[in-house]
Amino acid sequence: MEIRKDHYNKYVKQVTPIYPLWRNMLRAFLTGGVICTLGQFLLTWLTAMGLDEKSAAAWQLLVLILTSVLLTGFNIYQKIVKWGGAGALVPITGFANSVAAPAIEYKAEGHVYGIGCKIFTIAGPVILYGTFTSWILGLIYYMIR
């Protein structure tokens, strides 16, 4: 029995990939930083163009989401994610990518059973748990006040 464990542990060490942690963290930091810098540039530019801050923020989000969906459609965002890891997946652009990617992948199955069903594989749980959590926190806030 002990020999089997030793062989298994050796096997696990052989097949377990070793990731360069510091390089991956640097790439994630740079990728997320570029996305956030682009967002800040858009916000500053739209505000300078005369939009009030709320409208500029809404347009900034729309542009970032649209850019992410277009890059997903052209299969570019996956390359960014592969290079930047969590830096590309965490911002709102990553959420837009995770909503658009299943819809594009299952497009061949039709509009209803393909796109319509698969577009919510990621968005559905996020919306559900986000709504539920905000309801619970609102209830707690109401009870405390």
Burial tier of 96 (Cβ tally within 10 Å: 0-12, 13-18, 19+): buried
The region of weakest confidence among 15-24, 69-78, 115-124 is 115-124
HSE, CB side, 13 Å, CA atoms: give it for residue 104: 15
Which pTM does this prediction carry? 0.71
Is the pLDDT assigned to residue 102 strictly greater than 70? Answer: yes
For the stretch 20-65, pLDDT in tens is 999 999 999 999 999 999 999 999 999 999 999 999 999 999 999 9
CB 69 within 8 A of CB 100: yes
Structure token pair of residue 48: 């300078």
Burial 113-134 (b: 16+ CB within 10 A, else e): ebbebbbeebbeeeeeeeeeee
